[in-house]
Amino acid sequence: MQYDVIVVGSGPGGYVAAIRAAQLGYKTAIVERENLGGICLNWGCIPTKALLKSAQVFEYISHAQDYGISVEGAKHDFEAIIKRSRGVADKMSKGIQFLMKKNKIDVLNGFGKLNAQKELEVTGADGTVNKYTAKHIVLATGARSRELPALPIDGKKIIGYREALTLPSQPKSMIVVGSGAIGVEFAYFYNSIGTEVTIVEFMDRIVPVEDADVSKELEKAFKKKGIKVMTSSSVEKADISGNGVKATVKTSKGEEILEADILLSAAGVATNIENIGLETLNITTEKGKVIVDPYYKTNVDGVYAIGDIVPGQALAHVAMKEAVICIENIAHKEGKFHHQPEVLDYNNVPGCTYCVPEVASVGMTEKAAKDAGYEIKVGKFPLSASGKASAAGATEGFVKVIFDAKYGEWLGTHMIGYNVTEIIAQTVASRKLETTYHEQLDVIFPHPTISEAVKDAIEVALGEAIHL
């Protein structure tokens, strides 16, 4: 069968690309080997948020006394929490099915592989192979848990994020290797329901991509919750011959043996670029990524790549935007779309981590701004001084803003605390519109909110703090 556009992979990048292509009048198909919505929707972003919500509810109930409410005998049901999380994922996956039907997109179930230029073969679960042709083929095959040589995942004692979402019973203890978003979110979840958690991080601080002040604050909050944090440490080997896991951890002070029921490997992701026919067409790759132009075209005409398999942040919202840019550029060239889309500014991509306290950031860290040679104004407003945070009983954390002193350019925002993932978008939009700190102070922020802490932080940067 012939299509205008075939998208391989139905994660956030893939399904958005397919829908936008269909909206622009292209006959479109999408290839998916497992579940519509991909890893993010079925095994990542969405079900983890459901787990985290259960953890937060349990935390609230456990501290109900602090809010003048008496609750007795509160306990959690691990199986029910997992079941709810899977239910949320299933509902969202069915939502994608609906969107495919609504937009008249054909779903081709199976494993997609480039066979020749503009030709794709799809192998179904039963081994049946069908060939399809398309003028444009978009690769959006995503990524999976990166397997460390010392920690081969067996799915039982050494697990990845996927198994962490569906454990049959709650472990009494867990080692989490890696403290990026996946690691700290699972560490928070399991700790909140009573699992003894140890984080092992190779770098000298947790959430190492964040501003150093954020890392310090999160480590303090985690230790307060009873999570053990080991930085500048690495798991050299893991013995699974006994009942649980014995992990040999190399630290700056020597080797240490950690014992736990389960070890979660959360040390990043590896791209799914094997066996999809890249070699057949001599598509250029580098360090496990497909090389593309600013509009996501590969070195082969008619083949494009988006999402985790191309350079840039491996985030759902990045893949979604890349999808739209890619399709709209194709359509623009063919006279189906009125203008050439703007290329993606990877320096203005927000990152969010949904543990408690939440972490959100965009732009340069303080160190990066200094290293780049900027003279900077930095403002840091603690949420302990926020009326809304005090009323919510969530005063840990802060909002930190960084501006160029000379021209007032907003270089970055780094937040940790209650609901901060919901307010980072303001900085993203403002940076896109190139607003200065003076313009920001002319904006009226609602009171009392966490969002006004951004205004307060800007006032601190200018030496005009009112609430501090």
Residue numbers annotated as active site? 447
The Cα-based distances of 152 to 179, 205, 263, 401 in angstroms read 18, 25, 11, 41
According to DSSP, the residues that pair with 136 across neighbouring strands are: 5
Other CB atoms within a 10 A radius of the CB of residue 452 amount to 20
What is the SS3 assignment for 236? strand
Kindly write down the DSSP assignment for every residue of 273-340, as one continuous string.
Answer: -TTSSTTTTT--EETTEE---TT-B-SSTTEEE-GGGSSS---HHHHHHHHHHHHHHHHHHTTSSSSP
Report how far apart the first and last C-alpha atoms of the chain are (Å, whole number): 66
Distance CA 283, CA 427 (A): 37
Other CB atoms within a 10 A radius of the CB of residue 71 amount to 12
- The token duo for 332 is 């623009």
CA neighbor of 59 nearest in space, from 188, 167, 171: 188
CA neighbor of 14 nearest in space, from 271, 331, 323, 344: 323
Distance CA 203, CA 182 (A): 16
Distance CA 457, CA 426 (A): 14
CA neighbor of 359 nearest in space, from 418, 404, 445, 403: 418
